Structure 1
Amino acid sequence: MTVLEAHSAAQRRVGGWYQRTTGRWCYVFLLPALVLTAMFTFYPMVMSWVYSTMDWSGFNNDMTFVGLGNYRELLGDGMFWSALGRSMIFVLVGTPLRVGLALVVAVILNSQVMRLSVAFRTLFFLPVMASASIIGVVMTFVLSPNNGPANSVLVGTGLADSPVGFLSDPKIAIWTALLVHTWKNFGITMIYWLAALQTVPAEYYEAARIDGAGWAKLARHITMPILLPFALIIIVLTAKENLHAFAIIQAMTRGGPYFSTQVTEIFIYRTAFAADEAGGVPRLGYASAAGCFFGTVTLLFALVQLWGARRVAETRRELRRARGDVA
């Protein structure tokens, strides 16, 4: 063996040892994150399903196995289904409202002739950065019938004869919460649309304009077909987010008045930790069953989101091929 061959063999041995050592150190550095994830994510998920089969208050050691008894009770619980129906209001009404308005605003702000578009994007996105709890508390003052700015304007301009109970009237409290929740998270949906709009090749518009196409034909034949896969995933993301309105509702109404804003998450919280507010006894096992059921509903949205993400990836590959970026 020559000196050169010996040197090459030594380098290979050192290189192999270095790669093996580096791989092991990666697992060492990942270990703290894996432990924390197991403790605060996987373990609670598994135990939620375990507790859902128990009759347990959560405050003592008296735990009785009831199997699917909690789920059978849940199916006949009118309070739970009413809460789930209110959550569906946020999905079925709030999602198209937010997605549609955000698309219109995104199209306007995406226009190259729109001045100060960056400033307007920032203004629309600012509420997203604020805490939902803080916004909820602030809105209770803004919408208060006692010298709240909103009612002062309505009464002062003659639009209302008396202060409106935005959060105290059971008929309109849920719609007030929905509008506040939509306003607070409007910016993130707008950003989704802006990102989707910027994937539309500019040369498509230029070629269509040369052929005499107006804005309506551009939208119908170019923009909308390309945005359709993105629209699916944006709708699913918005619907999933609308299912989780706990923080803002808890801060504004705590599920009242008369349970009119009690969505599923508020129902679960009250059943598990604040049942005394409704004159009952905490039932962590029953609340876990409600949470597992609600989590399954959310999982269905996540599966649709996964399918939509694949469609978006396929559409982007097709666009690259059409532009000659991919052979």
Structure 2
Amino acid sequence: MRVLGTLRVHRFHYLMMLPGLVLAGMFVFYPIFAAMFYAMHDWSGFTAQKIFVGFGNFLALFQDPIFWNAFGRSIVFLLGTVPLQMAISLILAMVLNMQLLKLSTFFRTMIFLPVVTPVAVIGIVWTFLLSPFNGPVNGLLLDLGLVSQPIDFLGSTQSVMPSVIGVYVWKWLGITLIYWLAALQTVPDEVYDAARLDNCKGHRLAFYVVLPIIKPFALAILLISSVAALNVFPLIMSMTNGGPFFGSEVMEIFIYRTAFAADDGSIPQLGYAAAAGVLFGAVLLGLTALQALATRRTRMATAGSKA
């Protein structure tokens, strides 16, 4: 009776929540449970027959070198983008946070502009810029005498990942910059005034005064950036399609190719791809849980500092 009374009192609020719950059920919860169901079956996705194999798909994945190569590339991409992105954005944030710096708003807007640009557009434009055939980047390198012949940035297995990493960092640098700027806003003005009285400037101010204060935010920013770096399907798909010779095939590209776009003419394996998606989703879920804990700790630290 108490539950019915609560529903009756808050019926308007539940009614307002209903559209969101329906959409979440259709596009979030149902795909999760469907992926778990398909992961237990040997199914191409094009036939009515589904053969239950239990954990057979997962066992096959652990013995699949292509799966581990894709997983390893995702980790390499993560390790190549996140530290670089955080370091550059932190330096820029400290510079742009200076009140005496003119045109700081303009520079913030220019750095953030790639974030709001569609990923597909970014991928197509950078594919043209990095092209070995009359690409502006190669043209500039040749004019400066830095190279003797054009570099096939996206056509070589040695250079494709560094090239995509560079484009990714350039595109998403602005969002990490905003995170750091928000963290820097928590540093009281009195701290800067006291540092100036002690003649603490430059790198000493940054390392010994500012960084210890914003340290609680660093873990949250790190985990947010890590989760984002593992969701790179649109950029790689538009730039390299996982090539050349699987040189940029990360986990998301592996799942997509296995489920829908087998290039070798073999039958797509939706169940096998679903198993890979479940494993990759478990990794993302773990990072998201760590992100939630880090965000909670950051709020507690911020509340403690204000108190």
Unaligned runs of 5+ in 2: 1-5
Change in 2 beyond 3 A, CA 1:68/1:143: same
Alignment identity in percent? 45
Aligned to 1:122: 109
Conserved 8 A contact 1:226-1:315: no
Q: Deviations over 1:32-83 (max 9, x none)?
A: 2211111111001111011100000011111000000000000011111101
Conserved 8 A contact 2:138-2:151: yes
Aligned runs of 1:7-156 on 2, under 5 Å?
23-156=10-143
Question: For 2:10, what is the secondary structure of its paired residue?
Answer: helix
Question: For 1:239, what is the secondary structure of its paired residue?
Answer: helix
Aligned to 1:263: 250
Is residue 315 from structure 1 mapped to residue 301 from structure 2 by the alignment? yes
Is residue 291 from structure 1 mapped to residue 264 from structure 2 by the alignment? no
Unaligned runs of 5+ in 1: 1-18, 322-327
Q: Deviations over 1:89-145 (max 9, x none)?
A: 111121101000100010000011111000000000000001111110111111111
The alpha-carbon deviation at position 217 of structure 1 amounts to 3.8
Aligned to 1:10: none
Aligned to 1:202: 189
Conserved 8 A contact 2:142-2:148: yes
**Larger Rg, first or second structure (1 or 2):** 1
The alpha-carbon deviation at position 245 of structure 1 amounts to 0.9
Among 226, 235, 240, the alignment partner of 1:253 is 240
Conserved 8 A contact 2:114-2:172: yes
Aligned to 1:7: none
Q: 1:193 and 1:90 mapped to 2: Cα distance?
A: 22
The amino acid of 2:96's aligned partner reads L
Conserved 8 A contact 1:230-1:312: yes
Change in 2 beyond 3 A, CA 1:20/1:76: closer
Q: 1:236 and 1:123 mapped to 2: Cα distance?
A: 25
Aligned length: 302
Is residue 281 from structure 1 mapped to residue 267 from structure 2 by the alignment? yes
Q: 1:220 and 1:137 mapped to 2: Cα distance?
A: 40
The alpha-carbon deviation at position 218 of structure 1 amounts to 2.8
Aligned to 2:222: 235
Question: For 1:278, what is the secondary structure of its paired residue?
Answer: coil
Q: 1:264 and 1:138 mapped to 2: Cα distance?
A: 24
TM-score norm. by structure 2 comes to: 0.95
TM-score norm. by structure 1 comes to: 0.89
The alignment's C-alpha RMSD in Å is 1.4
Among 119, 124, 146, the alignment partner of 1:159 is 146
Aligned to 2:3: none
The alpha-carbon deviation at position 220 of structure 1 amounts to 3.2
The amino acid of 1:68's aligned partner reads F
Q: Deviations over 1:158-185 (max 9, x none)?
A: 2211111001111111111111111111
The alpha-carbon deviation at position 219 of structure 1 amounts to 2.5
Q: 1:309 and 1:203 mapped to 2: Cα distance?
A: 26
Q: Deviations over 1:241-293 (max 9, x none)?
A: 11111101000110000000000000000000001x13321001000000010
Q: 2:186 and 2:59 mapped to 1: Cα distance?
A: 48
Q: 2:170 and 2:206 mapped to 1: Cα distance?
A: 26
Conserved 8 A contact 2:36-2:275: yes
Question: For 1:158, what is the secondary structure of its paired residue?
Answer: coil
